[in-house]
Structure 1
Amino acid sequence: MLRIVDHLVGRGPLRICAHVPEADGPGDLTGLRVLLTGDVLARVVELRGRAVLTGRTGPRVPGAAATGVHPADAEGTPEELADALGGPPALQLSGRAYEGGGGAFVQIAEARASGSADPEGDALAVRLLLLDRPYHEPVTVTAEDVEGAERLLAQWRSAVAGWAEEPSKPLVAELERTARAGLEDSLDTAAVLRLLRGLAADADVPAGAKFETFARLDRVLGLELTREIGKAPAAGARA
């Protein structure tokens, strides 16, 4: 299992390469999941203050940008990437067995959209669903899953907009430390989402502290949880 802590320290940028597999049919989300995992990994490392350079091999993934995946710094063959990035990647991510040399290898499990699930209906809802499962476990996204993720995002964005109107308070330090520890050790985004669900429902935590904690962790999750701030008032959001 991936231990990001082994790669957090060091001089110069951390180089990450995402090897995107060919799609196995229109419902195959594995390539998107590979890119998404690399995107979150880069965000975690950058939050620690270290620069990241990213590369990509394989086909383009339509809709990746809509899910908040930052574009790669370089694309091409492994040799071209090493030249463009100023050195070989220290981390290789792939949805298939990777036979290339150099760096640590992380295999991302298969992800699929089943039935009428439309991964382009709400791209960030799909991002949420993929982050809500460990990257090393297969996942199938259904239409019902997407609808549920859309509702949760709407609830959280409304709540965050309401909390932003309340007096500022420090973030919930213990929760943030626990979340960061899981992310830095094993990229445990599912645990972070569980923590946020609990925090949102905790009536004993001030609204200002909820806002700061959600905003801080969304820098890694990339779910645009603050985008409703300043818009129409969010009734009932100031829990």
Structure 2
Amino acid sequence: MAAFDRVCAYARSVLRIIDARTGEPVDAAPARRGLTRIEAHPGGFDITALRVLLAADLLVRALELGGTPVWALLDAEREQAELRTGAAALGIRPFEDGRDAASGLGEAQVIHVVREGGAEPDGVRVAVAPAHSEAPSGDADPAALRLALLARRRSVPLQLDAAALADAQDTLVRWRRAVAGWSRQPSRPIPDEVRAELRTAWEDDLDLPGVLGVLRWVESAPDLPDGARFETYAYADRLLGLDLTHDLGALP
């Protein structure tokens, strides 16, 4: 596809997600500027619950980047304190308490983010496959755990082991150092084609592995100015929430 065609496709793009009830894609924000309510239903506190909350957080971020107002709610009858603490550690922004929240704010869309095989509330349902962890995160940066969770699509069961966490930690350290180095160069705009690739990936049912793939390409793409690499990573991180600018000013 020519660069001009990619830019046009980007301009017309809209976030579409798979409704687990029907298996069909739906617009996450069917009305322009209409309010979308996101309800997270994590169940009990475990790694799958954190994956549910992360999926909801990413959905909120993607909608906000597209200019859609969002109302984010947490529907949990137990272990709320543990869920909120775990979510905060992963850089998941706070949700309002949704147990007693009433509708009627004129929302154009209601999306429920649930465990695969979990409750089936009314409205669009986004299902998150189970996750299991064989290795404690230890002293690793919680952002590395977030990155490890982003590495697989939410519909795919995830088995986290020590190797996966170590790889995520190494990638996070490398990218943060690279971003800090690129920031020292003159700023350059994100190439239209790269921006379109990023948006195409995350607006396709929140394909986060696709977004990460674009960043891996940008990291070593020939003839791409470092200032453009920096702007690309900073832009993508508004969705990813990995604090990729963490090391700015830290390098000699």
Residue 94 (1) aligns with residue 114 (2):
yes
1:75 is displaced (CA, Å) by: 3.2
Partner of 1:73: 96
Alpha-carbon distance in structure 2 between the residues aligned to 1:215 and 1:170? 11
Partner of 2:131: 111
CA contact (8 A) 2:42 2:52 kept: yes
1:102 is displaced (CA, Å) by: 2.3
Structure 2 counterpart of 1:7, one-letter code: A
Alpha-carbon distance in structure 2 between the residues aligned to 1:226 and 1:51? 26
Alpha-carbon distance in structure 1 between the residues aligned to 2:227 and 2:89? 29
1:50 is displaced (CA, Å) by: 1.2
1:5 is displaced (CA, Å) by: 6.2
Greater shift, 220-229 or 1-10, is seen at: 1-10
Per-residue displacement from partner, 1:90-117 (whole Å, max 9, x unpaired)? 1011114344442101110001111x33
**Structure 1 alignment gaps of length 5 or more:** 234-239
1:210 is displaced (CA, Å) by: 0.3
Partner of 2:67: 49
CA contact (8 A) 1:183 1:189 kept: yes
Q: Secondary structure at the match of 2:101?
A: helix
Q: TM-score, normalised by structure 1?
A: 0.86
Partner of 1:140: 159
1:7 is displaced (CA, Å) by: 2.1
Q: TM-score, normalised by structure 2?
A: 0.82
Structure 2 counterpart of 1:14, one-letter code: T
**Structure 2 alignment gaps of length 5 or more:** 1-16, 20-24
Alpha-carbon distance in structure 1 between the residues aligned to 2:214 and 2:103? 41
CA contact (8 A) 2:131 2:157 kept: yes
Identity %: 37
Partner of 2:11: none
Alpha-carbon distance in structure 2 between the residues aligned to 1:231 and 1:186? 36
Residue 31 (1) aligns with residue 52 (2):
no
How do 1:170-209 and structure 2 match up within 5 A? 170-209=189-228
Partner of 2:40: 18
Per-residue displacement from partner, 1:130-184 (whole Å, max 9, x unpaired)? 1110100000111121111111111101100111110111112212211111211
Structure 1 counterpart of 2:235, one-letter code: R
1:54 is displaced (CA, Å) by: 0.7
CA 1:7–1:204 in structure 2 vs 1: closer, same or farther (change >3 Å)? same
Q: Secondary structure at the match of 2:72?
A: strand
CA contact (8 A) 1:81 1:88 kept: no
CA 1:5–1:219 in structure 2 vs 1: closer, same or farther (change >3 Å)? farther
How do 1:150-169 and structure 2 match up within 5 A? 150-169=169-188
Greater shift, 103-112 or 120-129, is seen at: 120-129
Greater shift, 167-176 or 212-221, is seen at: 167-176
Give the total of aligned pairs. 225
1:84 is displaced (CA, Å) by: 9.0
CA contact (8 A) 2:52 2:115 kept: yes
1:83 is displaced (CA, Å) by: 4.4
CA contact (8 A) 1:68 1:222 kept: yes
1:86 is displaced (CA, Å) by: 6.8
CA contact (8 A) 2:115 2:130 kept: yes
